[in-house]
Structure 1
Amino acid sequence: MLDADSGTFLDIDPLRPVEEQTALFAEALSRTPDATVVAHSWGGTLVGIAMAHDVARPTALVLVEPAMFDLARTNESVSHHIDVMTDARTLADAGDLRGFWNLVKPMMFGAQATDDDWKEDEPHAARFAQLTLPWGFDLDEALPGLPPTLVITGAWWDGYEAIAQSLVGRGAQHIQLQGAGHRPQDLPGFSRVLNDWKAR
């Protein structure tokens, strides 16, 4: 069975250097080498980096909306996302956190950045500006063949669907679970999908 009670949860801090994060993942996997790794968003990118650099390799893998943007950089949605975030990070690095948030909040959270909300938004913006960007790791060229892999997307953004299709081209299976946006793992049918796939 694949469920919350039978799993081990790894607390990955996306503010830490990527090398530390991959080392933490590799150490955890070494304790349970036959585990099926379930990774969401940046976690999926981190697993891809670990495999690409031969740091760790799961025996089976479930990628939930993996942010492996390197695999679909020619997709229009992915390309636009990278362009906007690159511009935003340039502003943040220059000390213009509000300018950063003016670009990021509409794209990532579907709301405009306003003066009224800035006091509440500022700490979120500051943290978001420090997160590792999930591209620039040459995964398209460096990622080796996949272990048995299931990719689950929420069918809400073309970019994640394009990433999923790239992984399908590498041998993964792909299932869409609609209704929870970027978090299909919150849907009641998520555990059943995982268990059915594991059984096959």
Structure 2
Amino acid sequence: MLTADAGTFLAIDLLLPVEKQAALLAGELERAPAATVVAHSWGGTLVGIAMAHNGARPAALVLVEPALFDLAPTNESVRDHISVMTDARALADAGDLRGFWNLVKPMMFGAEATDDAWAADEPHAARFARLTVPWGFDLGAALRELPPTLVITGAWWDGYEAIAHALVQRGAEHVKLSGAGHRPQDLPDFTRMLDDWQSH
């Protein structure tokens, strides 16, 4: 979160129940009501959950590739992603972690799940299978009004562009920063863009 004179990194254990994650974020915002929240990926979903279900009211938002899948449920890329992840989680829930990873690693990390890599991959697969999926929170109806919001996408996946479009329809500004995939915050122009947006 960014305040007038400093930034605070809010470390939240992503393996906590989502209700506890959202409550922690909402509590921080109560203590810093003038803060701008900068959130990436699942962090964007968590902000949405805290706003929709915990009464959180950020002064402003910067959402970087926000995984707000509930806002673009009809987009083909979003539907395909949810379908694959639903199948993968069913395998994990049935005890087939390797089957889960065979689906997830190519889609999420761009690499094949091989026998040679499995020993190193297994703890990552186990952790990933425990993370909360970023959909199913009824955020489409809840997030009709936003504080001043900037959405930054990496211009690499249609699903995130569709989510950004849905946020623009709710009053957000949208900027594309290509060249770093899912992490446009790693690009040199990111900080300048953030400063320019905050100053106007």
Instruction: Give, in whole Å, the separation in 2 of the partners of 1:6 and 1:155.
Output: 30
Point out which structure has higher relative CO (alpha carbons under 8 A, 6+ apart). 1
Equivalent in the alignment of 1:55: 55
Runs of 5+ unmatched residues, structure 1:
none
Q: After TM superposition, list the pairs within 5 Å mapping 1:88-103 onto structure 2.
A: 88-103=88-103
1:64-104 CA distances to partner (integer Å, 9 max, x unpaired)? 00000010111010000000000000000000000000000
1:148-167 aligned at under 5 Å gives the runs 148-167=148-167
Deviation at residue 155 of structure 1 after TM alignment:
0.3
The 5-angstrom pairing of residues 6-25 of structure 1 reads 6-25=6-25
Please, what TM-score do these two structures have when normalized by structure 2? 0.96
The equivalent residue for 1:144 is: 144
> Contact 1:67–1:134 (CA<8 Å) still a contact in 2?
yes
Q: Deviations over 1:164-188 (max 9, x none)?
A: 0000000000000111111111111
Where in structure 2 are the equivalents of 1:1-200 lying within 5 Å?
6-200=6-200
Higher mean displacement: 22-31 or 118-127: 22-31
Task: Tell me the TM-score normalized by structure 1.
Answer: 0.96
SS of 2:21's partner is helix
Distance apart, 1:54 and its partner CA: 4.2
What residue ranges of structure 2 are gaps of 5+ in the alignment? Answer: none
Q: Secondary structure at the match of 1:6?
A: coil
Seq. identity, %: 77
Q: How many aligned positions are there?
A: 198
Q: Is the 8 A contact 1:22 1:55 kept in 2?
A: no
Runs of 4 or more consecutive aligned structure 1 residues displaced over 4 Å after TM superposition: none
